[in-house]
Chains A and B, each alone.
Chain A
Amino acid sequence: MNNKGQIIITDILLYLIILLVIFSIVIYATVTLNDNQVTRINNKQLNNLLEDSISALTKTSGTPNNWEELNVNKVDTVGLKSPKNQLLSYDKLIKLKNNPYLLDKYFPTGIDYSLTMYSKSNPNNEVLIAGKSNFNNKKQIQSKSTVVLFDYAFDITSFKKENMTVYCPYNHSEQWICKTINVNDESLSSGKYYIISDSDVKYVISNTYSENITGQTRKTCINNQLEQLMRNQNQTIFLHILTNNNNTYLVYDTDNKEEFLDEVIKPKTYVLNMKIAT
C-alpha cells in the first residue's frame, strides 16, 4: 500500500477539477462580459449619435446658415436654429419636412431614425418630420426629446416704453408710443402688416403729410390703411398706439403665416423628439 502516493494522486485530481471549474467560470465570465461590453459600447455609440444629432439640429443653424432658402443640392449640413436668436426656425423645419432625406446622411446604414414634433398642449397630434414612422424588427430603440420654441421669421416691432422721449408729429403724450416705419409699394405687395396686442388698443396711422387713419383693435391687418396713406414710392409712416401698458406689436409677415401671429404675444412650446434604432 502506498499511502503517500494515493494522497498525492487524489489531491492532484481534486486540484485539477477545481482548477478546471474555476477556469471555465472565468472564461465563461470573460466571454459574456466581452459580449456585454460590445452591446454596451453600441448602446453608448447609439446614445452619442442620438445626442450629437439632436444637439446639432437644435443648436446650429446649418451651413450655409440660410440653407432653407437654397436649392437642396446646395445644402451642406442641416441645423434648425435661427441664426438671429436661440429659437428654431420654422422655415428650416418645413424645408426639412419637405426634404426629409437631407437627414439620412447623418445616420450609418442599418440604423433607423425618426424625427417627430408635437405641440405641448396637444401631445396626441405628433407630426413626422423626417425618418421612419415605425421601427419593426428592431432590437434597440433610443429616444430623446427637447422642448423648443419657433421663430416664424416675422419682422417684429415692439411698442414698449423707451427711456428716451420721442416727439411724434402729433405731440402725443406719454401714454402713447409712436414709432416710424418705412413702407414702399414692394413691401406692401409682398407682405402683410399687422397690429397685434394682448387687449384692445387705440391706434393712429399717419404719413408725412399729416393725413391719418384711426382705429381700435386687438389684431388687424393694416395694409389697406397703409395703401391709402402712400403718397410716395417710399413713404415714411408714423404708427401711434395708445398702449396703456399692453404688449403691442407691429408684425410684418411675408409668407402668409397668419395662423402663428398669436405666438408673437404668447409663444407656444413644442417638443421635438428623435428616436434611433438598430
Chain B
Amino acid sequence: MKIINDQKGFTTSILLLILLIPVFLLLVITIDEYSHNVNNTVENLESNQIKSISEDFENEILIVTKESLHNITYDIVTSKRSVTDKDTIRRYIQNRINEKEIHYNNNFLIDCEIKDLKSSDNPFKIELYYLLVVSTKDNKIKNSKNEQKLVEITDKRFPVYDPLPTLKTGATLNGNYLEYGNQLSGHININNPDAYLNTIQSIIIKECPLSDYSQHGNSNETILSCLNNHYYHNSHDGMCIFCRLENKTNCNHFGFETFIIPTKLSDDAPASIDHVLLNDINNQYPGNLVSIDNNTFLYLDNGHKSKYGL
C-alpha cells in the first residue's frame, strides 16, 4: 500500500513542522531553568566572597597602619625631620592601602578611604577611621563599611619609635638605642645638665606591664626590669604619639612618659622623665636622687616618686 502519495511533499512538511514546535518549547524551558539556577548560585557565592574579602582586607588595613607607623617613625628618627601634620601620615597610609587594593583580588573591586587618625583614651592605641567598599566588577553586589578601629602601636612585629628625643636633641639612633652623647645635656637648661652626659635610651615604644605603677617600688628587681626594658607609662603630662611626631611641646591628649636614666651621681639634677628633660627651657624642673642599686639611680620630683612608689 502506498502510504504517501503526496508528490509535492506538502502534507509531510506541515506535519513535521507541527511536531517540531513542542520539542522546541521544551528545549527553551529547560535552558531557561538551568541558566536561572546558575545565576542564583553565582550571586550567592559572590556575596559570600565579598563579605569574607572585606573582613580579610580590614585585617590588612590594620597591618598596613601599624607598618606605616613603624616606617614613618623610623624615617623620622633616622632623618631627624618631623612630620609636618597628621594628614601626611594619613596620606602615607592611604597610599600604601591603594597599592594593596590593586593586587589584593583580581575578581573584585576594593576601595578603602582612610578618613582620619586620632589619639585615643589609651595612648598606646590610636583610633583609625575608614570607609571600605568591596564590590563585584559590574558593581551589582556591593558591601560598604564605615569603621572606627583601635590600632595598637606596641605590636612587636612593627615597633614604633619614639620620635621626640631625636627631634628635640638631634641625637643619633644606633640599633634600637639612642646615643645622646652631649646632645641631651645641651638641651637641658637648668642646674646640673651633665648628669645626662652620654645617656643611652631605647626609643621603641613598649608599654609597662605593671597594673599599678606604684608597684615599681616594691623591689629593686622590679624597677630595674622596667628601666632595662625602657618601658613607657601612661601620663597626663607626657605627649601622645601624634604630638611627638609633629614635634609639639604640649598635647591635650592622653600621653605617655618614660624614664631617662642619668649617668652622673649627685644630690639633685633635672628630673629623669622624658617630658621634663625634652620640654621647653621654662618647663624643666629638678628632682632628688633616688638610689636603686650601686650602679643605677634616678632623679625624681615628689609627684613622680609617689606615682612609681619609689
| B1 proximal to A (CB < 8 A) | yes
User: What's the Cα separation between A164 and B5 when bound, in Å?
Assistant: 101
A181 to chain B: closest residue by CB: B209
Min C-beta distance of A60 to chain B, whole Å: 9
Instruction: Kindly list chain A residues whose C-beta atoms are within 8 Å of the C-beta of B48.
Output: 55, 59
Given A26-B23, A33-B26, A167-B229, verify A208-B156 contact (CB < 8 Å): no
Query: Which residues 196-228 in B have Cβ within 8 Å of A in the complex?
Result: 204, 206, 209-212, 215-216, 218-222, 224-225, 228
A169 to chain B: closest residue by CB: B221
Asked whether B26 lies within 8 Å of A30 as measured between CB atoms, the reply is: yes
Query: Which residues 143-185 in A have Cβ within 8 Å of B in the complex?
Result: 162-164, 166-170, 180, 182, 184
Given A19-B15, A30-B22, A168-B225, verify A10-B1 contact (CB < 8 Å): yes
| A42 proximal to B (CB < 8 A) | no
Interface residues of A toward B: which range?
A: 35 or more
A180 to chain B: closest residue by CB: B209
Asked whether A164 lies within 8 Å of B159 as measured between CB atoms, the reply is: yes
Given A7-B5, A11-B5, A30-B26, verify A182-B209 contact (CB < 8 Å): yes
Asked whether B5 lies within 8 Å of A209 as measured between CB atoms, the reply is: no
User: What's the Cα separation between A163 and B157 when bound, in Å?
Assistant: 8
| A216 proximal to B (CB < 8 A) | no
Give the A-B contact count at a CB cut-off of 8 A: 77
Asked whether A26 lies within 8 Å of B22 as measured between CB atoms, the reply is: yes
| B28 proximal to A (CB < 8 A) | no
User: What's the Cα separation between A234 and B156 when bound, in Å?
Assistant: 26
Given A11-B3, A210-B219, verify A236-B23 contact (CB < 8 Å): no
Asked whether A234 lies within 8 Å of B224 as measured between CB atoms, the reply is: no
| A269 proximal to B (CB < 8 A) | no
Instruction: Kindly list chain B residues whose C-beta atoms are within 8 Å of the C-beta of A99.
Output: none
User: What's the Cα separation between A139 and B15 when bound, in Å?
Assistant: 43
User: What's the Cα separation between A29 and B22 when bound, in Å?
Assistant: 10
Query: Which residues 14-49 in A have Cβ within 8 Å of B in the complex?
Result: 14-15, 19, 22, 26, 29-30, 33, 37, 44
User: What's the Cα separation between A44 and B37 when bound, in Å?
Assistant: 9
Asked whether A236 lies within 8 Å of B26 as measured between CB atoms, the reply is: no
A 76-92 to B, binary, CB cutoff 8 A, 1 in contact else 0: 00000000000000000
Instruction: Kindly list chain A residues whose C-beta atoms are within 8 Å of the C-beta of B88.
Output: none
Given A15-B15, A208-B218, A209-B218, verify A164-B204 contact (CB < 8 Å): yes
User: What's the Cα separation between A168 and B229 when bound, in Å?
Assistant: 9
B159 to chain A: closest residue by CB: A164
| B17 proximal to A (CB < 8 A) | no
Asked whether A236 lies within 8 Å of B221 as measured between CB atoms, the reply is: no
B204 to chain A: closest residue by CB: A164
Most buried by A among B11, B157, B216, B222: B222
| B4 proximal to A (CB < 8 A) | yes
| B42 proximal to A (CB < 8 A) | no
Asked whether B156 lies within 8 Å of A162 as measured between CB atoms, the reply is: yes
Min C-beta distance of A204 to chain B, whole Å: 12
A 228-263 to B, binary, CB cutoff 8 A, 1 in contact else 0: 000110111000000000000000000000000000
B40 to chain A: closest residue by CB: A48
Given A55-B48, A210-B219, verify A236-B33 contact (CB < 8 Å): no
Asked whether A182 lies within 8 Å of B211 as measured between CB atoms, the reply is: yes
A 41-78 to B, binary, CB cutoff 8 A, 1 in contact else 0: 00010000000100100010000000000000000000
Instruction: Kindly list chain A residues whose C-beta atoms are within 8 Å of the C-beta of B103.
Output: none
Instruction: Kindly list chain B residues whose C-beta atoms are within 8 Å of the C-beta of A168.
Output: 225
| B140 proximal to A (CB < 8 A) | no
Asked whether A210 lies within 8 Å of B221 as measured between CB atoms, the reply is: yes
Can you list 20 contacts pairing A with B, beta carbon distance less than 8 Å? Answer: A10-B1, A11-B3, A11-B6, A14-B3, A29-B26, A30-B22, A44-B37, A55-B48, A163-B157, A164-B206, A167-B229, A169-B219, A169-B222, A184-B211, A208-B210, A208-B216, A210-B219, A210-B220, A232-B212, A236-B209
**A residues whose Cβ falls under 8 Å from a Cβ of B:** 7, 10-11, 14-15, 19, 22, 26, 29-30, 33, 37, 44, 52, 55, 59, 162-164, 166-170, 180, 182, 184, 207-210, 231-232, 234-236
Additional 11 contacts, C-beta under 8 A, given A208-B222, A234-B211? A11-B5, A15-B15, A59-B48, A164-B204, A166-B229, A167-B229, A169-B222, A184-B211, A210-B219, A210-B221, A236-B210
